[in-house]
Amino acid sequence: MLDYRLDKHELAELRAAHRAAWDVREAYRINAVILFGKGRAPADMADALLIDPDTLR
């Protein structure tokens, strides 16, 4: 599997975008990218976000 980890700068930019997001769906999407960029497995991400794994895909 490819390594999609994000560096500190990229994570900081995504966290800023997450804080600025007005739309809840956009915030969830950004949060999923942050978790994926930190090396979390999709099943763990779905569990952390309290969403169905199919929704995450």
Side chain identity, residue 24: V
Q: What tokens were used for 38?
A: 């930190």
pLDDT digits (tens, 9 = 90+) for 1-56: 567 889 999 999 999 999 999 999 899 889 989 998 998 888 888 888 888 888 87
Give the per-residue pLDDT at 13.
96
Give the per-residue pLDDT at 1.
55
Find out whether 38 and 12 touch, Cβ atoms under 8 Å.
Answer: no
Find out whether 28 and 49 touch, Cβ atoms under 8 Å.
Answer: yes
CA distance 8 to 38: 10
Query: What's the whole-model pTM score?
Result: 0.79
pLDDT digits (tens, 9 = 90+) for 36-49: 899 888 888 888 88
CA distance 8 to 4: 13
How many residues are there in the chain? 57
